[in-house]
A and B are shown apart, each in its own frame.
Chain A
Amino acid sequence: MTPFESICEKCEELIQPYLDRELSESERREAETHLADCGYCSKRYRFEASLRRYVRQACCSEEMSPELKAKLASLRTALD
């Protein structure tokens, strides 16, 4: 594996909204074609996608307590 040495302008435009599923159908196709052809972007894409998953996993690991859940349920009748 080698460090990212060059910057692809296309990458900046496409990767984040592509990962966020915010591109239109034609933009998505364009992004996929570009990712297949550009080594820099496909590497960046794999890194960004796994970072996104990893951040999500780290930040969603703490569940709410059963006590809080019970408190929320009690609010529904307590406020009338």
Chain B
Amino acid sequence: MADAESDARRLATEARDRVRFEEEVLGLADQVYRVARRLVSSREEAEDLVQETYARAFRSWRSYTPGTNLRAWLMRILTNLNIDRGRREQRSPDMQPMEEGDYYLYNRLEQSGAADDEERVVERLSQDSIVEALAGVPHDFRDVIVLVDIGDFSYQEAAQILDVPIGTVMSRLHRGRRILKGELAESAVGEES
């Protein structure tokens, strides 16, 4: 009798924990979608990826430790599924010389029109060109940019999500942002001509 009562209590606690988990996970859906949308190239792919992520998260809810970083836990499922889905071949980026890469975009934009200050000059880029340029960054680099710049994850969290050392996150971020700026500079030149 006592066993039956304790079983019932355990089941009730588990059911309550599960509902709480599901609600918290669903509350993060917009953030998960924003990251997914920039990891893959189309809206449809992003929707599929988010659905797969949620299906897996709900199935494996017991493997989440309450009180730990749920957003990072979900993102780890998402990035693993994205890798499992197979990534299409991408061209290697044309790298600007290292010493030029970081300010090449700025100089390009600055040369492309009337004087603006450092904060306004980015407005010469169209939003579409930014989305396109990010999509052109190779996956390994893009994953890190998306997690840190769009998902607001720290370097440490991104390292855990992607299961790579923090130094790798930092170097990929650095190189990825440089590639992104190179792509943007190319599109800025393209729009001028």
Contacts and interface: CB of A to CB of B under 8 A. Distances in A.
A64 B50 contact: yes
Interface of B is mostly: helix
Interface residues of A, number: 39
Contact of B119 (A17, A50, A62): A50
Contacts of B29: 64, 69, 72
Nearest to B128: A58
Contact of B106 (A3, A17, A71, A76): A3
Nearest to A72: B54
A71 B51 contact: yes
B122 interface: yes
A54 B125 contact: yes
A57 B131 CA distance: 10
Contacts, number: 113
Interface of B: 22, 26, 29-30, 33-34, 37-38, 43, 47, 50-51, 54-55, 58-59, 99, 102-103, 105-107, 110-111, 115-123, 125, 127-128, 130-131, 134, 146, 148-150, 154-155, 170, 173-174, 177, 180-181
Interface of A: 1-4, 7, 12, 16-17, 20-22, 43-44, 46-47, 49-52, 54-65, 68-69, 71-73, 75-76, 79
Nearest 7 interchain pairs by C-beta: A64-B33, A58-B130, A46-B118, A4-B103, A58-B127, A47-B118, A50-B119
